[in-house]
């Protein structure tokens, strides 16, 4: 069975103490409630990673992730952070391919393929983001866009390596905009992604892969999104910064 996952993306928010306090609240609220087939992941700024990993030590259903890594192993890359450095904090995951990094930092599919390799070589599980812009949705080219992002960023992996990947379908027009894909729109794309994975790796691998929805998910719309057959949870931006909202979203899976 694939896992249901609710992942928070804190982006560049919260100072050190604020991050620790929000995380402690989340851990305390979920540690006894979240079932074994569910995972909560907090992707924080780098400054929090080591402390959050210590706070969640022994709480198996809460994990910590970064929001980026550099593709190189080490060296003269001032201001950058490597996969092994992130791993040494106790983190398990890293978001790669977020549309903000693709748009603001020029991250291309081929660069992302290298970052995926760096993450996997160091035991980090990528939460790999794909999704179309508003123009691409309106022109109807979104299936091609998503297929290209998958194949150029990930399909160099063999099936064994691919097993560590979590996917997040995040339509760019829905991120931080208050616009959400309807459950039907999201399900349509998630089913397409799973079909594409089945063509590449076989149905068993496709069925094991968690595919999250991201884009203005909140307590009011999470249930209708997560109840779709191919939506296995969410990557949550704004609503992950409020413990009550985030908890309500997690609790969708607790019925």
Among 65, 126, 171, 214, binds ligand PEP (CB under 6 A): 214
State the Cα–Cα distance between residues 42 and 156, nearest whole angstrom: 27
Q: Which is nearer to ligand PEP, 121 or 179 (CB)?
A: 179
Please return the burial class of 247, using the count of CB atoms within 10 Å of its CB with bins 0-12, 13-18 and 19+.
middle
* Helix (H/G/I), strand (E/B), else coil: 80: coil
By CB under 6 A, residue 238 contacts ligand PEP: yes
Among 170, 230, 232, 245, binds ligand PEP (CB under 6 A): 170
Whether 156 sits among the annotated catalytic residues: the reply is no
By CB under 6 A, residue 123 contacts ligand PEP: no
By CB under 6 A, residue 8 contacts ligand PEP: no
Within 13 Å of residue 185, how many CA atoms lie on the same side as its CB? Answer: 17
**Residue number with the smallest Cβ distance to ligand PEP:** 237
Question: Considering only 19-27, 59-67, 223-231, 232-240, which stretch makes contact with ligand PEP by CB under 6 A?
Answer: 232-240
* Helix (H/G/I), strand (E/B), else coil: 236: strand
Q: Which is nearer to ligand PEP, 44 or 216 (CB)?
A: 216
Q: Which is nearer to ligand PEP, 123 or 176 (CB)?
A: 176
Question: Considering only 52-60, 103-111, 155-163, 235-243, which stretch makes contact with ligand PEP by CB under 6 A?
Answer: 235-243
Q: Where are the alpha helices (DSSP H) in 98-221?
A: 99-104, 109-121, 134-139, 142-154, 159-162, 183-201, 203-208
Pairing, β 125-130 against β 93-96: parallel
| Closest CB 143 distance from ligand PEP, rounded Å | 21
Size of the site for ligand PEP (CB under 6 A): 13
| Closest CB 54 distance from ligand PEP, rounded Å | 25
Among the listed residues 71, 92, 132, 170, the single catalytic one is 170
* Helix (H/G/I), strand (E/B), else coil: 71: coil
Q: Which is nearer to ligand PEP, 6 or 201 (CB)?
A: 6
State the Cα–Cα distance between residues 104 and 157, nearest whole angstrom: 26
Whether 48 sits among the annotated catalytic residues: the reply is no
State the Cα–Cα distance between residues 200 and 2, nearest whole angstrom: 18
Among the listed residues 48, 71, 92, 98, the single catalytic one is 98
- Name the strand (E) or helix (H) holding 226: helix 222-226
Closest CA to 130 of 82, 92, 97: 97
| Closest CB 195 distance from ligand PEP, rounded Å | 23
Query: What does the block give as tokens for 80?
Result: 């950058």
What residues are annotated to the active site?
98, 170
Q: Please give the residue ranges that form the binding site for ligand PEP (CB under 6 A).
A: 9, 170, 175-176, 214-217, 235-239
């Amino acid at each position: 069975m694939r896992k249901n996952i609710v992942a928070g993306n804190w982006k560049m928010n919260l100072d050190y103490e604020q991050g620790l306090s929000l995380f402690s609240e989340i851990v305390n609220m979920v540690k006894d409630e979240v079932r074994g087939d569910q995972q909560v992941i907090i992707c924080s700024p780098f400054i929090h990673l080591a402390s959050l990993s210590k706070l969640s030590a022994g709480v198996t259903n809460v994990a910590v992730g970064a929001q980026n890594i550099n593709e190189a192993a080490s060296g003269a890359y001032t201001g950058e952070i490597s996969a092994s450095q992130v791993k040494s904090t106790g983190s398990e995951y890293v978001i790669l391919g977020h549309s903000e990094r693709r748009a603001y930092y020029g991250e291309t599919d081929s660069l992302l393929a290298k970052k995926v390799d760096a993450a996997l070589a160091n035991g980090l599980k990528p939460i790999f983001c794909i999704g179309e812009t508003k123009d691409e949705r309106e022109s109807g080219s979104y299936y091609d866009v998503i297929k290209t992002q998958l194949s150029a960023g990930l399909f160099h992996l063999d099936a064994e390596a691919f097993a560590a990947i979590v996917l997040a379908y995040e339509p760019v027009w829905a991120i931080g905009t208050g616009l959400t894909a309807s459950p039907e729109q999201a399900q349509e794309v998630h089913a397409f992604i799973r079909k594409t994975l089945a063509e590449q790796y076989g149905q068993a691998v496709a069925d094991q892969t968690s595919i999250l929805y991201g884009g203005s998910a909140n307590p009011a719309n999470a249930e209708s999104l997560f109840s779709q057959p191919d939506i296995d949870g969410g990557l949550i931006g704004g609503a992950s910064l409020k413990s009550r909202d985030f908890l309500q979203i997690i609790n969708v899976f607790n019925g």
